[in-house]
Amino acid sequence: MDIQRYPTLDSLAAAAGELFVELANDAMTERGVFHVALSGGSTPRAIHLWMAQHAYDLNWSKVQLWFGDERCVPPDHEDSNYKMARDTLLDALDIPPHNIHPMRGEFTPTQAAEVYESDLRGAFPDDLPRFDLVFLGLGEDGHTASLFPHTDALLENERWVVANHVPQLGVWRITLTAPVLNQARVVAFLVTGEKKAEALNTVLNGEYHPDDTPAQMIHPTAGREVWLVDEQAAQKLSDES
């Protein structure tokens, strides 16, 4: 398991941004396009800000920006993952608007999932979407994307995108499903802060109970899994982890 520890959020953000740029350039050289799924929540903010400062000269016309999950709110809502990405990265980039693929949180959950899957099928007509990079976060409860413990989305093996009711939050979410996430060439988990230490150790070293700890479901079937963690999040890992 590739677990990379960083002393500070800034050093982790730089490493994640440099990974994004490296994989983007490789994908563009090999296939002429870079498909990346951004993570939601707050951790990616620092990575986005780093990229807005240091990756502005990437050939963004060949980047297709997708999202791993979204809250069922309008795109200008403070909880919107799309708004967070707009505010911290997208508005700073010279990227064609049609290269950005937000999940439509303003639609009904079912409609949003159907529309997004249709959008993905347009880009990946032959088979399961194979993202060049998927950024993922980790919740204190072991969720990732919007695959929350004991929710229906964990059981989905056919659809690529689903509306997932999360009773523990009393909300609906839109999320890519585990089969799609596991099809990625690279999955990079971004985990910071001492509040994630317990969950991180459980995911990496605990018994396999994906219904309790859904992040344990994510292991690329033919790809690379890397964990970028800061020292606070890593404090419960043994030194050899």
What residues line the site for ligand 6PG (CB under 6 A)? 39-43, 68-69, 81, 137-139, 143-146
Residue 138 or 186 with smaller CB distance to ligand 6PG: 138
Find the DSSP H helices in the chain.
9-31, 44-54, 81-88, 109-123, 178-181, 197-205
Cβ of residue 44: shortest distance to ligand 6PG, in angstroms? 7
| Phi, psi dihedral angles at 228 (to 5 degrees) | -105, 110
Cβ of residue 74: shortest distance to ligand 6PG, in angstroms? 15
Residue 64 or 81 with smaller CB distance to ligand 6PG: 81
Cβ of residue 35: shortest distance to ligand 6PG, in angstroms? 18
Using an 8 Å Cβ cutoff, are 119 and 101 in contact? Answer: yes
- According to DSSP, the residues that pair with 165 across neighbouring strands are 172
Cβ of residue 34: shortest distance to ligand 6PG, in angstroms? 20
Buried b or exposed e, range 126-145, using 16+ CB within 10 angstroms: eeebbbbbbbbbbbebbbbb
Residue 25 or 165 with smaller CB distance to ligand 6PG: 165
CA distance 169 to 73: 14
Residue 14 or 58 with smaller CB distance to ligand 6PG: 14
Residue 62 or 117 with smaller CB distance to ligand 6PG: 117
Cβ of residue 173: shortest distance to ligand 6PG, in angstroms? 7
Reference 84, options 49, 56, 53; nearest CA is 49
